[in-house]
Chains A and B, each alone.
Chain A
């Protein structure tokens, strides 16, 4: 089996599908990395739940304005044409179908589009934030994730085993090994690492991969 994609490369791959001018919400943590890899000439407008559209990268250390943060409570900057709004308007943008893309992390994704990404079980303090809203309403809900867990178990499953964030909500999954669409409650393979066979990929996937006639090569630059 060839080397899997790094997190940066998975984020890069997801960024290639974002259209110029698209309104995009990136989940906190790993998905935030997608913003760094927008193709030249394509500029998305990023939304954050706490009431900012069109924010830019983090300010230099010491330049932070702590009234200007993203949903992960990290300091941000504004791009020309930014807007502020309150939380009800912010989630009207989310649930009302106004966002083009939401990109989220995942513990598990099921072939029927169910997503589990907020809780690993009843231990500790439960926290959901905006995840259960974000999975509804965006035109595309994409997940970026390693293809398997740290223990090598599949994260793409027939049914999720962990508490759900939303049902039937995910439309595309970018993993360290493949790009998979969810169509009619099935995983449809779109791209895979060129050196990996479909059988090898199927062996680390917890539900059947539908293999259409043509499968693209999943290739990312060194990052």
Chain B
């Protein structure tokens, strides 16, 4: 029942070339920087995993985390709502050169597609994007006199997320606004890997405050002094 693993390299085992990977975080808030860097380390050593489809709200910032993964050429396609940031060179250069794909999804639709994926709902209707270029070509239906666009669920082979505290059964709490997409991604991936600031014994987290129940979590790795992506970016750090 103990879902803890000893180190980051073990935590990211089984994430292979061609997979769809969800990565938690909104900008730097909640970005699982150490898990991403562990995946980059393996890619550098073995050439795998590459050709990944990555789901995140953004496409990274500066030369660290998700941006560094794109820089390494590990990502074939991004599914995101806002592929811009203060320093979006990594994605922008590859996109304009035709070296990386982009599926642009309105932010609320992205969240709901992931939620639906985790909840066993194959499709749903949303008002977002009706009558726009983004909604163009998707099935449309009218409910109570208003038009809605059909969207499909989004699932992944694996999710990398960051939480604050986990017990050994995988129950999670998050820190401030760092939860964003992570509780949804935890439900929608076949393999959910979580880096946490601290691991506690079962019973040490009040059941009233659990945000992600352990049923959605497969592996937990302790990263006590995790780097904050925004702080790294502002410090000019590059992981390359």
Contacts and interface: CB of A to CB of B under 8 A. Distances in A.
A, B from the same assembly: yes
Interface of A: 48-52, 65-69, 73, 84-88, 90-91, 94-95, 114, 119, 124-133, 136-137, 163-167
Contacts of B81: 127-130
Q: Chain A interface mostly helix, strand, loop or mixed?
A: loop
Contacts of A73: 26-29, 85-86, 230
B106 A67 contact: no
Nearest to A119: B133
B194 to A, nearest CB: 15
Which residue, of A49, A52, A91, A94, has the highest number of chain B Cβ atoms within 10 A? Answer: A91
Nearest to B131: A167
B128 interface: yes
A164 B106 CA distance: 13
A50 B134 contact: no
Contacts, number: 144
B104 A128 contact: yes
B177 A69 contact: yes
B108 A91 contact: yes
A66 B108 contact: no
B104 A130 contact: no
B37 interface: no
A170 to B, nearest CB: 13
Closest 4 CB pairs of A and B: A91-B108, A133-B108, A87-B111, A167-B131
B129 interface: yes
Interface string B3-40: 00000000000000000000000111110000000000
Contacts of A86: 111, 179-184, 211
Interface in B66-104: 81-86, 88, 91-92, 95-96, 102, 104
B228 A66 contact: yes
Contacts of B175: 67
Contacts of B104: 126-128
A48 B29 CA distance: 14
Given A125-B91, A129-B81, A67 B108 contact: no
B109 interface: yes
22 contacts: A49-B107, A66-B28, A67-B175, A67-B176, A68-B176, A68-B177, A73-B27, A73-B85, A86-B180, A90-B108, A90-B111, A95-B126, A125-B83, A125-B95, A126-B83, A128-B82, A130-B108, A132-B106, A132-B109, A133-B108, A133-B126, A136-B128
A218 to B, nearest CB: 31
A133 B106 contact: yes
Contacts of B174: 84
B178 interface: yes
A132 B129 contact: yes
Contacts of B96: 124-125
A67 B82 contact: no
A136 B128 CA distance: 7
Nearest to B135: A132
A136 B180 CA distance: 21
A123 B128 CA distance: 23
B127 interface: yes
Nearest to A49: B107
B82 A127 contact: yes
B115 interface: yes
Nearest to B104: A126
A9 to B, nearest CB: 29
Contacts of A132: 106, 108-109, 128-129, 132, 134
Contacts of A119: 133
Contacts of B176: 65, 67-68, 84
